[in-house]
Structure 1
Amino acid sequence: MSVFFVTGAIFVIATAISAVSNIVGLFTGSATRVFAEFAGTPAQAPIGPDGANVIVELDSAYLLADRLPFASVVALVLEQAVVVTAVATVVTALLLVMWSILRGRVFGRRNTSLIGTAATAGFAGVALAPFFGNMGANGAFATISGGDFDNVILSANLVQVFGIAFLGALGTTVFMVGDRLQRDTEGLV
């Protein structure tokens, strides 16, 4: 179990370092690197014989914008804040549940609340981070194209969203039922 505690701490720290690095990159003098999704946009790539350009279909790419609108910068900072907050909350809540289980207390209101908190934070992170990322990408598109290229695509990984919602609801229900059964059977054994 100690491996999970150490791994969880490393994961939270690595996520925070990556977020700070991404935020610092927004405020440096060089071009800002912004992740963007495309809807079947044709492009040329030098992947043909002898480096000849070949038409490819873009699914996603990193845009390099010399400047971004203030709203886009705020959205990209919020994206990183959401990611760090979600990861830290999920990891902390699940590690607290594990700690409680190691101490012999599996079912209880505290663990049920912690499972619900982890599920809610995971769901919010998976839903909100792409939303803010898309806002930042739209600003980059507008800056680079002068407003001529309209590529508004808001996407979230639906498998992740539904998976987290399902597992969160299942986990919370299991802990609620376990807590109720434990209270109902106390003193019977």
Structure 2
Amino acid sequence: MTSTKDRTISRGDSGALIGFCIAGVLIAAYITVFSIIRIIELARGVDVPVLIEFAPDASAVDLPLSTGGSVAVGLDSGTIIAPQLPAIAAVPGIIGQVLQIITILVVIGCLILLARSTVSGRIFGRGRTALVATAGITGLLGFASVRFFDNMLANATVARITDNGIDNAVMSVEPFTFILGAFVIALICTVFSIGDRLQRDTDGLV
């Protein structure tokens, strides 16, 4: 005889998961509001702060000292205030913010559904594995795309304001970070898939 009866979890664990869901909703709401404000700022196109990253060979600047003279320091990033943001820069920036909203909502939505199903006592299952995979892949590709469009915004802004006078970085996504993220997501999905099979085997013995 088989049994697929769900396990129950403690009240403390249930409370922690409910707290996680509430925190997820608040995070999603905060990032959504922030992104909407940024979209309005980019669409307006006046005095827009744009974060740029500098190429390694162009990152040395002279920092004045209080005792006189200066010292060379490395500069990884900085913010440029664009008096008039060109459309070629604003459009990628807006696309990036829209993708950020979608990515956050999908990732947090999947994790909340996963937490909700866990409260019921059923941790592993094909549906749960699909939720983990969807959250992981969406997060990986989504944030990489946001990074890419933000880089387009920065490059276009620098090109227009400085007439290509600043050599800023053009790499949108760090390959190592992307590969590491993909590895972690694949590992988690594998764990959930194995857990699902083990749980089904265990239920078949009950």
TM-score (norm 1): 0.87
Query: In 2 relative to 1, CA 80–29 (structure 1 residues): closer, same or farther, beyond 3 Å?
Result: closer
Q: Structure 2, unaligned stretches of length 5 or more?
A: 1-16
Structure 2: how far apart are the matches of 1:85 and 1:29? Answer: 23
Give the CA deviation at 1:160: 4.2
Partner of 2:194: 177
Partner of 2:26: 10
Structure 2: how far apart are the matches of 1:130 and 1:188? Answer: 49
Structure 2: how far apart are the matches of 1:17 and 1:24? Answer: 11
Query: In 2 relative to 1, CA 144–30 (structure 1 residues): closer, same or farther, beyond 3 Å?
Result: same
Partner of 1:59: 76
Alignment of 1:30-49 (within 5 A): 30-40=46-56, 41=58, 42-45=60-63, 47-49=64-66
Greater Cα shift, 49-58 or 100-109: 49-58
Taking only the aligned residue pairs, the percentage that are identical comes to 35
**Whose radius of gyration is greater, 1 or 2?**
2
Higher relative contact order (CA 8 A, sep 6+): 2
Give the CA deviation at 1:181: 2.7
**Given the alignment, which residue of 125, 131, 134 partners 1:114?**
131
- Deviation per CA, 1:74-113: give whole Å up to 9, x if none: 1101111222222221111111111111112212111010
Partner of 2:97: 80
Partner of 1:96: 113
Q: Which amino acid aligns with 1:7?
A: A
Structure 1: how far apart are the matches of 2:132 and 2:45? Answer: 43
- Is 1:144 equivalent to 2:161 in the alignment? yes
Q: How many residues align?
A: 188
Greater Cα shift, 67-76 or 151-160: 151-160
Structure 2: how far apart are the matches of 1:156 and 1:128? Answer: 9
Query: In angstroms, what is the RMSD of aligned CA positions?
Result: 2.2
Give the CA deviation at 1:23: 1.3
Structure 2: how far apart are the matches of 1:100 and 1:165? Answer: 25
Q: Structure 1, unaligned stretches of length 5 or more?
A: none
Partner of 2:44: 28
Q: Runs (4+) of structure 1 moved beyond 6 Å?
A: none
- Deviation per CA, 1:15-55: give whole Å up to 9, x if none: 0111111111113363111111001323344x411686654
Alignment of 1:162-173 (within 5 A): 162-173=179-190
**Given the alignment, which residue of 141, 156, 161 partners 1:124?**
141
